[in-house]
Amino acid sequence: MVFSSLPFLFRFLPILLILYFLPTGFKMFRPWLIAWKNSILLIGSLIFYAWGEPVYIVLMLFSTLVDYSHGMLVNHFKNSSSANGRKKAQLAVLSSVLINLFLLGFFKYSDFLIETINRITGLSLFSPNLPLPIGISFYTFQTMSYTIDVYRGDAKVQKNLIAFGTYVTLFPQLIAGPIVQYKTIADQLTDRKENWDSFSYGIHRFLIGLGKKVLLANTIGLLWDSVRAIPQAELTTLSAWIGIFAFGFQIYFDFSGYSDMAIGLGRMFGFHFLENFNYPYISKSITEFWRRWHISLGTWFREYVYIPLGGNRKGLPLQIRNIIIVWLLTGIWHGADWNFLFWGAYFALLLILEKGFLLRFLSRIPSFFQHCYAVCAIAVGWVIFSFEDMEKGFYYLSAMFGFSDAGFLNRESLYFLTNYGVLFFLLLFGSTPFFARFLPKLLNRIPSGIGMLLEVTAYVLIFLLCTAYLVDATYNPFLYFRF
């Protein structure tokens, strides 16, 4: 879909930027200027989404109108002098949440529920097989957060429909996140300032993300596809570990690459989105991993589910209940299938064990072994996540832990290891803060002019390589179709 049509983005973005910045010189008309920019972004975002999903623009506009009107209702009732104003405001929030969850459930989970009922009961209920609107899990969560924040007083009601529509449809992060809470950019919707430093940083961040996605994630993804296609009887233990590490790197560089591109594009238009990844693979526990991975999703569930349920304030038994609820929801949010539910349950179990005793145990052993535990636990999680056919996933796990008919290694395993060894080395260091810390120090040691030339050359090279890859390659998966 959208990022599998990156060439369209390259044609679309310059036109949008020209229209967006065209009246920038007329700063005396500041209110009119921001209205122009929001209108351009709103129209441009709808065109961008329509490039792959023209029918579902209606759904997005409906969601926008629902939450805009509900936000107005919440604000009106909350500030009214009537005795039951607060209750009416709560009902307006509930109405907004139910409508959003119904849309998400109908389009994302109806087929799964019907198929499950048919399998259990033996019935033959009709399954509509609706195509999933891309990004629906992201923008429904965003719009729900708006009405909740208005009710809580964490954000002011947005009375400008164009500004609110811009927030909902904002194309840089619409398709693959990060999930942008309204309160984090509310002021930026009506008063943001663009400058060359911010714009150049946006270009830098976008190109880094593009390189992550196209040059790293796509390349290592080919290895994962090769390993996954190996017949069960021929899958060795070494190949299984190589394959799941390949998938782990693919999904990290793919998703963090999208997040970097979104943050970079946002900065070009004056928006400051919060970070979504913080080197999760350097974690020493699962608790730490989920503080570093998909930060915006974890923040959303913490603020709108975990804490309202009571969080950790009402004793360990209720905290365990809250963790289970949050992680079952997190799992099913990722996809409408049983493996995602088990994936959420798996991490819920690990987090409960860590809170109960495991973190105390880990703190007493060397850091290296803490890290090994985290990496192995994450790898098992990726197997559950990646195999919708759980029988195949179970066999893959068996092979990883030595129960393989093909033995520990074979010629194919060694081929994978030698052919992709250099790439694994780059991915390993690229998933740590090594380059972020090393490169600035290196550039500071050489004359500024030469450093700038090297930096610009590197970005041009990334852009050219990515463009060549996208033009020539047939393999450019969008892993987040299901969201």
User: In b/e form, how buried is each residue of 317-332, taking b as 16+ CB within 10 angstroms?
Assistant: eebbebbbbbbbebbb
Angle between helices 196-211 and 237-268 (to 10 degrees): 160
Which single residue is written with the structure tokens 């050359």? 457
3-class SS of residue 161: helix
Cα(457)–Cα(203) distance, integer angstroms: 13
Cα(45)–Cα(51) distance, integer angstroms: 10
User: Catalytic positions, please?
Assistant: 334
Nearest CA-CA partner of 171 in 321, 307, 34, 3: 3
Cα(115)–Cα(126) distance, integer angstroms: 9
Helix intervals (H) in 22-79 = 30-50, 57-78
CB within 8 Å of 178: residues ≥ 6 apart: 259, 262, 263, 273, 274, 275, 276, 294, 295, 296
Identity (one letter) of the amino acid at 401? F
Cα(374)–Cα(351) distance, integer angstroms: 12
